[in-house]
A and B are shown apart, each in its own frame.
Chain A
Amino acid sequence: MSTTVDTLHHEEHHDHKPSGITRWLFTTNHKDIGTLYLWFSFLMFLIGGSMAMVIRAELFQPGLQLVEPHFFNQMTTVHGLVMIFGAVMPAFTGLANWLVPMMIGAPDMALPRMNNWSFWILPFAFIILLSSLFMEGGGPAMGWTFYAPLSTTYSNDSTALFVFSVHIMGISSIMGAINVIVTIMNLRAPGMTYMKMPMFVWTWFITAFLLIAVMPVLAGAVTMVLTDKYFGTSFFDASGGGDPVMFQHIFWFFGHPEVYIMILPSFGIISAIIPTFTRKKLFGYSSMVYATASIAILSFLVWAHHMFTTGMPVVAELFFMYCTMLIAVPTGVKIFNWVATMWRGAMSFETPMLFALAFVILFTIGGFSGLMLAITPVDFQYHDTYFVVAHFHYVLVTGAIFSVMAAVYYWLPKWTGHMYDETLAKFHFWASVISVNVLFFPMHFVGLAGMPRRIPDYSVQFADINQIVSIGGFAFGLSQLIFLWVVIKCARGGEKAAAKPWEGAEGLEWTIPSPAPYHTFEKPPKIEG
């Protein structure tokens, strides 16, 4: 490993960069790689989104109209996989690449060549996964949770491709996580103590440890599925002494921390944006750090709340119910701190702030429906209904994805050197926030009324609500094209952005010019106070 930070200093002192495709293929620059991750994630967001459009089009009316049930199952499955592993996680990794070095005063990520690898294996993972949709028998259709025996006894021939693509995604995430941890531990500018790091850096630091703890467990789970299906093992096969319920335990041991992997970086983003546009310091910084760490630790103790209906002993159900409810405490601390930051602040409502405010309100709705689901006895009614779908889309779309959009608007002037079109951006915000609620809010009711998830047909009494939901879905999907337009327009030109385009912004990234030069902080900055 010859490419250390020191040699980089000697090699490329100027702002020149290689041109053409090779710049992107061979780049070890954290900003280039961050850009690649973000564009990749947006592409995946559109692909996963178009699958959601297929789902909503089929569910527009009761009965089977457009697609075969088997294809519908592939759509729900691959929509989930693409959105989680292709859109949300790479978006956060892209933001970490762009921002973590600039926020801690480092010249680049600590392991730039590994950084290149961790991005460039990702497209292959998704080419494998998406191409399986076009193969004989189709792609994975067992739900993104790939419960055994759906993924073993009853799955398509393409299951091996699904397994390998998940392996590659896992390796990519683990490499990204290692890079973030090493960068944060070793490349902080002198004087940047842990308790002075911006919240985004803190939340990503903790997220990276979660990734290292659970992505290998996911790799183990898919490997067991692979050997059960193709090599005659019986991890999940009762006739061979295995147990299909054990699959769910192993899967959710990964799956629940995964939920926090997809939301902790959002907390960091919101903790950066709200103080800027309220022109106040973040309320309760250290309590934010401890709350994030407690959420991460608790996330390992709640996995079986996904499995209340598998017939667990009452004692176990109570344990997992109480632990789950306990998570509401540190999360409540965070919501409280954000509201307290806004209290009596000089607030202004630029687009990043609008998305951040929508995040606080709508994520809290998702949190509350999560608390309802945590109550064991009522979960027996809610389990596997659209209520669950409504819940996790509130936390993932209006939570994670809204925070990514807030982050893009907030740091776009720094990345491109131009201000984005504020009018168009506000239009994007209002179109998104209205349509997303038309899309997901009625799902609560249709779920409580008993409509099961992942089924291509439904009973006629759900028809009206499903029509409203589908219209919201199409509107939300189309609204994202405005987002694409704003970003392209901003990248191509616009009003010149100052080094610190937001009056109330704080942090090292605002001390460097906009657009951020190709190489920054080759000499570490001095941190005062």
Chain B
Amino acid sequence: MAQQSNNRKIIFRLLLGVAGMFAFGFALVPLYNAFCDATGFNGRTKNEAVAYTASHVDKSRTVTVQFLTHNAKGMPWQFKPDIKEVHVHPGEVKLVTFYAANPTARRMVAQAVPSIAPAEASLYLNKIECFCFNQQPLAANTDAEMPVQFYLDPEIPEHITTLTLSYTLYDMTADANATTVAQTTTSE
């Protein structure tokens, strides 16, 4: 019966491996998020307010920051940047605004998700204030100016002369009504 106990030992270890890899599949989610936050991989930005900490304003360089907006599928709002692009010196604080209008006859809630290209630049764009930090409600047939205040880290590599900040606007009305789900999404 030594054979049988030996079999069991191997089976147990292999099953442990299976369970471990199943868990690893799910662990890839936080690992991927941590990896993206640390490296700017995939153009994701830190979606939270950053205090102004730049040591200086680098007047010798100018970086073009372009703005793009997209509506996610089924999102009826009008959504566009008030200026298409700005020229900033690294370290300089800029305020830009986006225009949003809710043309429907009902109150809606939206969430904007930012993305930056090239991905490398996402590590150096710091937002002091952004409408994308929170869900944005708009009453029926109303509009709003939504501000973004940001600065570029003076450490931004020399070869980045243009970067694009893109927002995709999602309809979160259904989720905002189901409050539990909304709680988890805003805290992301």
A residues contacting B by CB (< 8 A) are: 1, 4-6, 110-111, 153, 174, 177-178, 181-182, 185-186, 212-221, 224, 232, 234-235, 238-241, 243, 245-246, 249-250, 253-254, 310-313, 316
Contacts and interface: CB of A to CB of B under 8 A. Distances in A.
A175 to B, nearest CB: 10
B32 A239 contact: no
B49 interface: no
A178 B17 CA distance: 10
Given A178-B14, A213-B17, A216-B18, A250 B72 contact: no
Given A217-B28, A239-B185, A243-B32, 16 more contacts: A6-B1, A6-B3, A182-B11, A213-B17, A213-B21, A215-B18, A216-B24, A218-B25, A221-B25, A235-B29, A238-B168, A239-B72, A240-B175, A240-B181, A243-B44, A313-B41
Contacts of A5: 3
B15 interface: yes
Q: Which of A111, A254, A312, A313 has the most CB of B within 10 A?
A: A313
Interface in B78-119: 111, 113, 117-119
B73 A153 contact: yes
Contacts of A249: 28, 32
Contact of B119 (A110, A174, A311): A311
Interface of B: 1, 3-4, 6-8, 10-11, 14-15, 17-22, 24-26, 28-29, 32-33, 36, 39-44, 72-73, 111, 113, 117-120, 168, 170-172, 175, 178, 181, 184-185, 188
B117 A239 contact: no
Contacts of A1: 4, 8
Interface of B is mostly: helix
B31 to A, nearest CB: 10
A212 B188 contact: no
A232 B120 contact: no
Given A178-B11, A212-B18, A239-B170, A220 B39 contact: no
Contacts of B185: 234, 239-241
Contact of A214 (B21, B32, B73): B21
19 contacts: A4-B4, A5-B3, A6-B3, A177-B14, A181-B14, A182-B7, A186-B10, A213-B17, A213-B21, A216-B19, A216-B25, A217-B25, A220-B25, A232-B181, A238-B170, A240-B184, A245-B42, A311-B43, A312-B119
Nearest to B185: A240
